[in-house]
Amino acid sequence: MSKPKLYLTRILPEEVMDYISTKFELRFNMENRIATREELIEGIKWCDALLCLLSDKIDAELLSLNPNLKCVSNYAVGYNNIDVAAATRLGIAVCNTPGVLTESTADLAWALMFAVARRIAEGDAFTRAGLFEGWAPKLMQGYDVFGSTLGVIGAGRIGSAVARRASGFNMRVLYFNRSKKKIDNCEATQVGLDYLLKESDFISLNIPYTSETHHIINEKELSLMKRNAIIINTARGACINEVALVEALRKGLIAGAGLDVYEHEPEIMPELLTMQNVVLLPHIGSATYKTRKVMGLLAVENILDVLSGRIPQAIVNNEVLAKIN
Ligand code: NAP
Protein backbone atom coordinates (compact mmCIF):
# COMPACT_ATOMS: atom_id res chain seq x y z
CA MET A 1 0.00 0.00 0.00
CA SER A 2 1.38 3.42 -0.84
CA LYS A 3 2.24 5.72 2.02
CA PRO A 4 0.41 9.04 2.51
CA LYS A 5 2.24 12.15 1.35
CA LEU A 6 3.51 14.55 3.99
CA TYR A 7 5.00 17.97 3.40
CA LEU A 8 7.09 19.17 6.35
CA THR A 9 8.06 22.83 6.41
CA ARG A 10 11.26 22.43 8.43
CA ILE A 11 13.50 19.64 9.69
CA LEU A 12 12.43 18.38 13.14
CA PRO A 13 14.51 16.57 15.78
CA GLU A 14 16.13 13.36 14.52
CA GLU A 15 13.91 10.83 16.31
CA VAL A 16 10.86 12.56 14.84
CA MET A 17 12.38 12.58 11.34
CA ASP A 18 13.15 8.86 11.68
CA TYR A 19 9.58 8.11 12.69
CA ILE A 20 8.11 10.28 9.94
CA SER A 21 10.17 8.53 7.28
CA THR A 22 8.69 5.14 8.26
CA LYS A 23 5.14 6.39 7.92
CA PHE A 24 5.05 8.81 5.00
CA GLU A 25 6.26 9.61 1.56
CA LEU A 26 8.05 12.76 2.62
CA ARG A 27 9.01 16.05 1.09
CA PHE A 28 10.49 18.73 3.28
CA ASN A 29 12.28 22.04 3.35
CA MET A 30 15.88 20.95 3.64
CA GLU A 31 17.25 24.41 4.42
CA ASN A 32 17.64 25.60 7.98
CA ARG A 33 15.22 28.49 7.51
CA ILE A 34 11.52 29.28 7.32
CA ALA A 35 9.93 27.85 4.14
CA THR A 36 9.20 30.42 1.46
CA ARG A 37 5.69 30.97 0.18
CA GLU A 38 6.67 29.31 -3.12
CA GLU A 39 7.88 26.25 -1.23
CA LEU A 40 4.68 26.13 0.79
CA ILE A 41 2.60 26.35 -2.40
CA GLU A 42 4.52 23.54 -4.03
CA GLY A 43 4.45 21.35 -0.94
CA ILE A 44 0.77 21.89 -0.20
CA LYS A 45 -0.24 21.17 -3.80
CA TRP A 46 1.49 17.79 -3.54
CA CYS A 47 0.65 16.49 -0.06
CA ASP A 48 -2.18 14.77 1.82
CA ALA A 49 -1.06 16.37 5.07
CA LEU A 50 1.02 19.36 6.06
CA LEU A 51 3.21 19.47 9.17
CA CYS A 52 4.03 23.12 9.79
CA LEU A 53 5.46 25.51 12.36
CA LEU A 54 4.05 28.56 14.11
CA SER A 55 6.24 30.69 11.85
CA ASP A 56 4.42 29.41 8.72
CA LYS A 57 1.43 31.53 7.86
CA ILE A 58 -1.14 29.09 6.50
CA ASP A 59 -3.86 31.25 5.00
CA ALA A 60 -7.05 30.53 3.07
CA GLU A 61 -5.31 30.85 -0.29
CA LEU A 62 -2.77 28.16 0.57
CA LEU A 63 -5.42 25.90 2.07
CA SER A 64 -7.51 26.14 -1.11
CA LEU A 65 -4.70 24.92 -3.35
CA ASN A 66 -5.30 21.22 -2.87
CA PRO A 67 -8.71 19.54 -2.55
CA ASN A 68 -6.94 16.39 -1.28
CA LEU A 69 -5.32 18.15 1.68
CA LYS A 70 -6.81 16.51 4.77
CA CYS A 71 -4.77 17.71 7.71
CA VAL A 72 -2.66 20.66 8.81
CA SER A 73 -0.74 19.66 11.92
CA ASN A 74 0.96 22.51 13.75
CA TYR A 75 4.17 21.82 15.67
CA ALA A 76 2.92 24.12 18.45
CA VAL A 77 -0.02 24.50 20.80
CA GLY A 78 -0.84 28.03 19.54
CA TYR A 79 -2.44 27.98 16.10
CA ASN A 80 -2.95 31.66 15.36
CA ASN A 81 -0.76 31.18 12.25
CA ILE A 82 -3.47 29.07 10.60
CA ASP A 83 -6.77 30.29 9.17
CA VAL A 84 -8.83 27.72 11.06
CA ALA A 85 -12.16 29.06 9.77
CA ALA A 86 -11.00 28.55 6.17
CA ALA A 87 -9.68 25.08 6.98
CA THR A 88 -12.99 24.13 8.56
CA ARG A 89 -14.90 25.44 5.53
CA LEU A 90 -12.66 23.33 3.29
CA GLY A 91 -12.97 20.23 5.47
CA ILE A 92 -9.31 20.24 6.54
CA ALA A 93 -8.47 19.11 10.07
CA VAL A 94 -6.24 21.46 12.07
CA CYS A 95 -4.24 19.82 14.84
CA ASN A 96 -1.82 21.12 17.48
CA THR A 97 0.37 19.94 20.36
CA PRO A 98 -1.26 20.93 23.67
CA GLY A 99 -0.11 19.64 27.03
CA VAL A 100 3.25 18.18 26.07
CA LEU A 101 5.00 21.56 26.19
CA THR A 102 3.25 22.97 29.25
CA GLU A 103 5.93 22.40 31.89
CA SER A 104 8.87 23.43 29.68
CA THR A 105 7.14 26.70 28.78
CA ALA A 106 6.19 27.38 32.41
CA ASP A 107 9.82 26.78 33.41
CA LEU A 108 10.94 29.33 30.85
CA ALA A 109 8.47 31.94 32.13
CA TRP A 110 10.04 31.49 35.56
CA ALA A 111 13.54 31.64 34.14
CA LEU A 112 12.63 35.01 32.63
CA MET A 113 11.12 36.21 35.90
CA PHE A 114 14.34 35.52 37.76
CA ALA A 115 16.53 36.74 34.93
CA VAL A 116 14.85 40.16 34.93
CA ALA A 117 14.27 40.50 38.69
CA ARG A 118 17.80 39.45 39.65
CA ARG A 119 19.55 40.88 36.58
CA ILE A 120 21.01 37.54 35.53
CA ALA A 121 21.80 38.31 31.88
CA GLU A 122 23.12 41.76 32.73
CA GLY A 123 25.23 40.39 35.58
CA ASP A 124 26.68 37.69 33.35
CA ALA A 125 27.62 40.22 30.65
CA PHE A 126 29.12 42.54 33.28
CA THR A 127 31.23 39.77 34.80
CA ARG A 128 32.44 38.44 31.44
CA ALA A 129 33.40 41.98 30.44
CA GLY A 130 35.87 42.02 33.35
CA LEU A 131 33.97 44.75 35.21
CA PHE A 132 33.57 42.87 38.51
CA GLU A 133 35.88 44.53 41.05
CA GLY A 134 34.60 42.80 44.17
CA TRP A 135 31.47 42.73 46.31
CA ALA A 136 29.74 46.09 46.55
CA PRO A 137 26.63 47.14 48.52
CA LYS A 138 24.84 48.71 45.57
CA LEU A 139 26.00 46.43 42.80
CA MET A 140 23.19 45.00 40.63
CA GLN A 141 20.33 45.37 43.10
CA GLY A 142 17.11 43.82 41.89
CA TYR A 143 13.70 42.70 43.08
CA ASP A 144 12.61 39.83 45.35
CA VAL A 145 10.59 37.05 43.79
CA PHE A 146 9.99 35.28 47.12
CA GLY A 147 6.92 36.64 48.90
CA SER A 148 5.75 38.85 46.04
CA THR A 149 2.51 38.81 44.03
CA LEU A 150 2.23 36.93 40.74
CA GLY A 151 -0.52 37.79 38.25
CA VAL A 152 -1.22 35.23 35.55
CA ILE A 153 -3.14 36.34 32.46
CA GLY A 154 -4.66 33.22 30.90
CA ALA A 155 -4.83 30.44 33.49
CA GLY A 156 -4.99 27.49 31.09
CA ARG A 157 -2.47 24.66 30.93
CA ILE A 158 0.67 26.84 30.91
CA GLY A 159 -0.69 29.68 33.04
CA SER A 160 -1.73 27.16 35.72
CA ALA A 161 1.70 25.54 35.59
CA VAL A 162 3.31 28.97 36.04
CA ALA A 163 0.96 29.66 38.98
CA ARG A 164 1.66 26.29 40.62
CA ARG A 165 5.38 26.99 40.80
CA ALA A 166 4.66 30.12 42.87
CA SER A 167 3.82 28.09 45.98
CA GLY A 168 7.53 27.29 46.29
CA PHE A 169 8.20 31.00 46.58
CA ASN A 170 5.49 31.88 49.08
CA MET A 171 3.75 34.13 46.56
CA ARG A 172 0.23 35.46 46.44
CA VAL A 173 -1.26 34.38 43.09
CA LEU A 174 -3.91 36.25 41.12
CA TYR A 175 -5.24 35.19 37.76
CA PHE A 176 -7.34 36.69 34.99
CA ASN A 177 -9.19 34.20 32.83
CA ARG A 178 -12.41 33.93 30.85
CA SER A 179 -13.72 31.04 32.95
CA LYS A 180 -13.11 30.20 36.61
CA LYS A 181 -10.25 27.76 37.12
CA LYS A 182 -9.33 25.38 39.88
CA ILE A 183 -5.56 25.24 39.81
CA ASP A 184 -4.17 22.12 41.50
CA ASN A 185 -1.77 22.71 44.39
CA CYS A 186 -2.16 26.46 44.19
CA GLU A 187 -4.31 28.93 46.03
CA ALA A 188 -5.04 31.43 43.29
CA THR A 189 -7.69 34.11 43.19
CA GLN A 190 -9.58 35.01 40.03
CA VAL A 191 -9.69 38.79 39.57
CA GLY A 192 -10.45 41.38 36.92
CA LEU A 193 -7.63 42.41 34.61
CA ASP A 194 -7.27 45.93 36.03
CA TYR A 195 -7.03 44.62 39.59
CA LEU A 196 -4.40 42.08 38.57
CA LEU A 197 -2.36 44.80 36.85
CA LYS A 198 -2.53 47.13 39.86
CA GLU A 199 -1.62 44.46 42.41
CA SER A 200 0.99 42.24 40.77
CA ASP A 201 4.77 42.45 41.05
CA PHE A 202 5.19 39.87 38.28
CA ILE A 203 2.75 39.53 35.41
CA SER A 204 2.92 36.46 33.20
CA LEU A 205 1.07 36.35 29.88
CA ASN A 206 -0.15 32.87 29.03
CA ILE A 207 -3.15 33.63 26.89
CA PRO A 208 -3.60 32.51 23.25
CA TYR A 209 -3.36 35.19 20.56
CA THR A 210 -6.80 35.92 19.12
CA SER A 211 -8.69 39.02 17.94
CA GLU A 212 -9.85 39.41 21.58
CA THR A 213 -6.37 39.21 23.07
CA HIS A 214 -4.63 41.40 20.46
CA HIS A 215 -2.86 44.11 22.51
CA ILE A 216 -4.53 42.96 25.72
CA ILE A 217 -1.58 44.82 27.25
CA ASN A 218 -1.61 48.32 25.83
CA GLU A 219 -0.81 51.83 27.02
CA LYS A 220 -3.67 51.93 29.53
CA GLU A 221 -2.87 48.52 31.01
CA LEU A 222 0.82 49.40 31.36
CA SER A 223 -0.11 52.62 33.14
CA LEU A 224 -2.01 50.62 35.77
CA MET A 225 1.00 48.48 36.68
CA LYS A 226 3.25 49.09 39.68
CA ARG A 227 6.54 50.89 39.13
CA ASN A 228 8.33 47.75 40.29
CA ALA A 229 6.27 45.45 38.03
CA ILE A 230 8.00 43.01 35.72
CA ILE A 231 6.06 41.67 32.75
CA ILE A 232 6.82 38.27 31.23
CA ASN A 233 5.54 37.24 27.81
CA THR A 234 5.84 33.62 26.74
CA ALA A 235 2.47 33.69 24.93
CA ARG A 236 2.47 35.54 21.60
CA GLY A 237 4.13 38.86 20.86
CA ALA A 238 1.06 40.76 19.67
CA CYS A 239 -0.72 40.19 22.99
CA ILE A 240 1.37 43.23 23.99
CA ASN A 241 1.53 46.50 22.06
CA GLU A 242 5.33 46.54 21.73
CA VAL A 243 5.46 50.29 21.04
CA ALA A 244 3.54 50.98 24.26
CA LEU A 245 5.78 48.55 26.15
CA VAL A 246 8.94 50.30 24.98
CA GLU A 247 7.46 53.64 26.02
CA ALA A 248 6.49 52.34 29.49
CA LEU A 249 9.98 50.91 30.00
CA ARG A 250 11.62 54.08 28.73
CA LYS A 251 9.57 56.25 31.12
CA GLY A 252 10.19 53.87 34.04
CA LEU A 253 6.46 53.16 34.45
CA ILE A 254 7.37 49.51 35.01
CA ALA A 255 10.62 47.93 36.17
CA GLY A 256 11.33 45.43 33.42
CA ALA A 257 10.25 42.85 30.90
CA GLY A 258 11.18 39.31 30.00
CA LEU A 259 10.19 38.44 26.44
CA ASP A 260 10.29 35.18 24.55
CA VAL A 261 7.97 36.42 21.78
CA TYR A 262 7.63 39.63 19.75
CA GLU A 263 4.87 41.46 17.96
CA HIS A 264 6.62 41.32 14.57
CA GLU A 265 8.74 38.24 15.13
CA PRO A 266 11.57 37.73 14.28
CA GLU A 267 11.93 41.53 14.15
CA ILE A 268 12.40 43.18 17.52
CA MET A 269 12.02 46.88 18.26
CA PRO A 270 15.60 48.24 18.32
CA GLU A 271 14.96 50.12 21.60
CA LEU A 272 14.39 46.81 23.39
CA LEU A 273 17.86 45.67 22.38
CA THR A 274 19.41 48.61 24.21
CA MET A 275 17.49 48.27 27.50
CA GLN A 276 19.30 46.68 30.45
CA ASN A 277 16.09 45.89 32.32
CA VAL A 278 14.79 43.68 29.52
CA VAL A 279 15.73 40.05 28.89
CA LEU A 280 15.14 38.83 25.36
CA LEU A 281 14.91 35.23 24.21
CA PRO A 282 14.44 33.82 20.69
CA HIS A 283 11.03 32.10 21.17
CA ILE A 284 12.34 29.04 23.00
CA GLY A 285 9.47 28.37 25.44
CA SER A 286 9.17 24.70 24.48
CA ALA A 287 12.78 24.21 23.44
CA THR A 288 13.98 21.29 25.53
CA TYR A 289 15.25 18.11 23.87
CA LYS A 290 12.48 16.04 25.43
CA THR A 291 9.63 18.42 24.69
CA ARG A 292 10.56 19.13 21.08
CA LYS A 293 10.69 15.39 20.46
CA VAL A 294 7.34 14.67 22.11
CA MET A 295 5.74 17.61 20.28
CA GLY A 296 6.92 16.12 16.98
CA LEU A 297 5.60 12.67 17.77
CA LEU A 298 2.23 14.12 18.77
CA ALA A 299 2.07 16.23 15.60
CA VAL A 300 2.72 13.08 13.55
CA GLU A 301 0.22 10.94 15.48
CA ASN A 302 -2.42 13.61 14.92
CA ILE A 303 -1.92 13.29 11.16
CA LEU A 304 -1.94 9.49 11.18
CA ASP A 305 -5.17 9.56 13.16
CA VAL A 306 -6.87 12.01 10.82
CA LEU A 307 -5.80 10.07 7.73
CA SER A 308 -7.03 6.78 9.12
CA GLY A 309 -10.36 8.01 10.45
CA ARG A 310 -9.50 7.99 14.15
CA ILE A 311 -10.16 10.96 16.41
CA PRO A 312 -6.79 12.67 16.91
CA GLN A 313 -5.51 13.49 20.39
CA ALA A 314 -5.41 17.19 19.59
CA ILE A 315 -7.71 18.67 16.98
CA VAL A 316 -8.77 22.29 16.92
CA ASN A 317 -11.76 21.96 14.56
CA ASN A 318 -13.44 18.70 15.56
CA GLU A 319 -16.40 19.41 13.34
CA VAL A 320 -14.48 18.57 10.14
CA LEU A 321 -13.84 14.94 11.10
CA ALA A 322 -17.24 13.81 9.86
CA LYS A 323 -16.51 15.39 6.46
CA ILE A 324 -13.05 13.81 6.02
CA ASN A 325 -13.91 10.15 6.42
P1 NAP B 1 -4.75 26.95 27.06
O2 NAP B 1 -4.64 25.76 27.96
O3 NAP B 1 -5.81 26.95 26.01
O4 NAP B 1 -4.91 28.23 27.99
C5 NAP B 1 -5.31 29.45 27.55
C6 NAP B 1 -6.15 30.12 28.63
O7 NAP B 1 -6.46 31.44 28.20
C8 NAP B 1 -7.46 29.40 28.90
O9 NAP B 1 -7.60 29.20 30.29
C10 NAP B 1 -8.51 30.35 28.35
O11 NAP B 1 -9.70 30.38 29.11
C12 NAP B 1 -7.82 31.68 28.48
N13 NAP B 1 -8.36 32.65 27.52
C14 NAP B 1 -8.42 32.53 26.18
N15 NAP B 1 -8.94 33.66 25.62
C16 NAP B 1 -9.23 34.47 26.66
C17 NAP B 1 -9.79 35.77 26.74
N18 NAP B 1 -10.16 36.44 25.65
N19 NAP B 1 -9.95 36.32 27.96
C20 NAP B 1 -9.59 35.64 29.08
N21 NAP B 1 -9.05 34.41 29.07
C22 NAP B 1 -8.88 33.82 27.87
O23 NAP B 1 -3.39 27.19 26.29
P24 NAP B 1 -1.91 26.84 26.78
O25 NAP B 1 -1.55 25.46 26.37
O26 NAP B 1 -1.78 27.23 28.20
O27 NAP B 1 -1.06 27.85 25.85
C28 NAP B 1 -1.25 29.25 25.94
C29 NAP B 1 -0.51 29.97 24.82
O30 NAP B 1 0.88 29.95 25.10
C31 NAP B 1 -0.61 29.30 23.45
O32 NAP B 1 -1.80 29.68 22.77
C33 NAP B 1 0.63 29.78 22.73
O34 NAP B 1 0.35 30.91 21.96
C35 NAP B 1 1.58 30.14 23.87
N36 NAP B 1 2.78 29.27 23.90
C37 NAP B 1 4.00 29.82 23.70
C38 NAP B 1 5.14 29.04 23.76
C39 NAP B 1 6.51 29.62 23.56
O40 NAP B 1 7.36 28.94 22.99
N41 NAP B 1 6.77 30.80 24.04
C42 NAP B 1 5.04 27.65 24.02
C43 NAP B 1 3.78 27.13 24.21
C44 NAP B 1 2.65 27.94 24.14
P45 NAP B 1 -10.87 29.30 28.97
O46 NAP B 1 -10.34 28.04 29.61
O47 NAP B 1 -11.98 29.90 29.71
O48 NAP B 1 -11.11 29.12 27.50
pLDDT tens-digit series, residues 266-293: 999 999 999 999 999 999 999 999 999 9
Whether 283 is a known active-site residue: answer: yes
Question: Can you tell me the distance from the alpha carbon of 279 to that of 266, in angstroms, rounded to the nearest whole number?
Answer: 15
Residue 265 annotated as catalytic:
yes
Q: pLDDT of 35-92, one tens digit each?
A: 999 999 999 999 999 999 999 999 999 999 999 999 999 999 999 999 999 999 999 9
Tell me the sheet residues that pair with 257.
231, 278
For residue 205, the tally of other CB atoms under 10 A from its CB is: 28
Query: What is the full DSSP assignment across 197-242?
Result: HHH-SEEEE-PPP-TTTTTSB-HHHHHHS-TT-EEEE-S-GGGB-H
Q: How many residues are there in the chain?
A: 325
Give me ligand 1 centre to Cα 317, in Å: 16
Q: Is the CB of 211 under 6 A from ligand 1?
A: no
**CB distance 285 to ligand 1 below 6 Å:** yes
pLDDT tens, position by position, 107-126: 999 999 999 999 999 999 99
Full set of structural domains in the chain with CATH:
5-100+289-324 (3.40.50.720), 102-280 (3.40.50.720)
Question: Which ligand 1 atom lies nearest to the CA of residue 159?
Answer: 26
199, 236, 292, 301: which is the annotated catalytic residue? 236
Please tell me if the CB atom of residue 235 comes closer than 6 angstroms to any atom of ligand 1.
Answer: yes
